[in-house]
Amino acid sequence: MSVRTYPFDLEYVQKRGMGLTPVTVPRVDDRYILGIGLSSRCNFQCPICYYHAPDGEISGQDMDIGLLTEILSSLPRLARIVIGLEGEPLLHKQFFNAISIMAKHANELVLITNASLLTEEYSKFLLHISLPYILLSIDAADAENYARFRRGGNFDQFLRNVEAALALGHKAVLHATVFRENLGTLLELPALAHRLGLNCISLQQLRAHPGSARRGMHPTGQQELEDWFARLVVKASIHNIQIMPDRFFGGPEFHAQLCAQSLRENLLLVEKMPQRQCPHAENFAGIMADGSLFPCAGDYAPVPLENYSFDAIFNHPYLQKLRAFHRYGVDNPACTICMNKSEALS
């Protein structure tokens, strides 16, 4: 079993940010987003994954409930908690308890799940939690490609579990990572969502890394992505399915076009991206299942935390330097990758 390695770490960030004034943020309620890796265990081995593909698996554990309580009790009220990051959260042995605790400390939760365990019992419980979205990861709209891209899962079981989740109504959203090898099958997602009784598709792009490339999974080129997206919008309009790209989708220029398009077309749900600096640097931090800090959704190695105060997390030297990069316009390779400029990986 190999351990996931990251191309960038705290030492790299400190050296690159030498001479830059660190940027701190104030403790304020209802402003910050916390990502929580509730469990690092997963029952899938998807080839695009950092953590659980055959050549990149890490040992699995659930976040201790006492640790979860300690973390959340030390922070201001959070705007949002995103539950996912590194494993399948429904595998947590105290999932219901953990969700109930998180719901007390945030305005809303967002859950990302492969839906393999999403039974009617889970769905009824989640119905009463402040969850605007439950993202059901799919990455393919047919059984053959699902078996290829969601290794360990079963397409028919996924469909049955989604039917069990229909009580969640508009909260249940099909969620796909977009990469070159699944563009064809993803064009059928609007038809599948319509057949399942869902009304929204969520999209993010592959954050390419050496493991995904070794397994034959590659990011799309920019023009390829734009042409594909235009075709997807046509199919979505036929079935009246909304499309919700994440705020990094397509890079800054294309995302700005999508924002303008969303003002004209109610089928597009696009969150406006700030012009100059990454919103993750300003208001996001992640905590892995072992309690370590994951500074953003990029390629930065987690680091242990001595305590879980607001400053220990959101004003950690890691995040202060990353904010300085954005604030003072320092180019940074990891952020270039995150913004999906695939030529940076060539």
- Report pLDDT digits (tens) over 272-329: 765 555 677 789 999 999 999 998 866 788 999 999 999 999 999 999 998 888 888 8
Which DSSP string do the residues of 77-109 spell out, in sequence order? Answer: PBSEEEE-TTS-GGG-TTHHHHHHHHHTSBS-E
pLDDT digits (tens, 9 = 90+) for 166-192: 777 668 899 999 999 999 999 999 999
Q: CA 283 to CA 81: how far, in whole Å?
A: 12
Contact 138, 188 (CB under 8 A): no
Q: CA 256 to CA 254: how far, in whole Å?
A: 5
- CA torsion sign for 284, 289, 293, 295 is negative
Whole-model pTM: value is 0.90
Q: CA 112 to CA 297: how far, in whole Å?
A: 14
With 60 as the cut, is the pLDDT of residue 342 above it? no
Backbone angles phi, psi at 78, to 5 degrees: -90, 145
Neighbours of 5 (CB within 10 A): 13
The CB-side HSE value for 135 (13 A sphere, CA atoms) comes to 23
For residue 266, name the pLDDT band (cuts at 50, 70, 90): confident
User: Distance of alpha carbon 35 from its chain centroid, rounded?
Assistant: 9
For residue 340, name the pLDDT band (cuts at 50, 70, 90): very low
The CB-side HSE value for 152 (13 A sphere, CA atoms) comes to 15
Q: CA 333 to CA 78: how far, in whole Å?
A: 29
Nearest CA among 299, 301, 303, 302 for reference residue 335 = 299
Identify the pLDDT of residue 6. 76
Through-space distance between the first and last CA atoms of the chain, rounded to whole angstroms: 28
Contact 45, 54 (CB under 8 A): yes
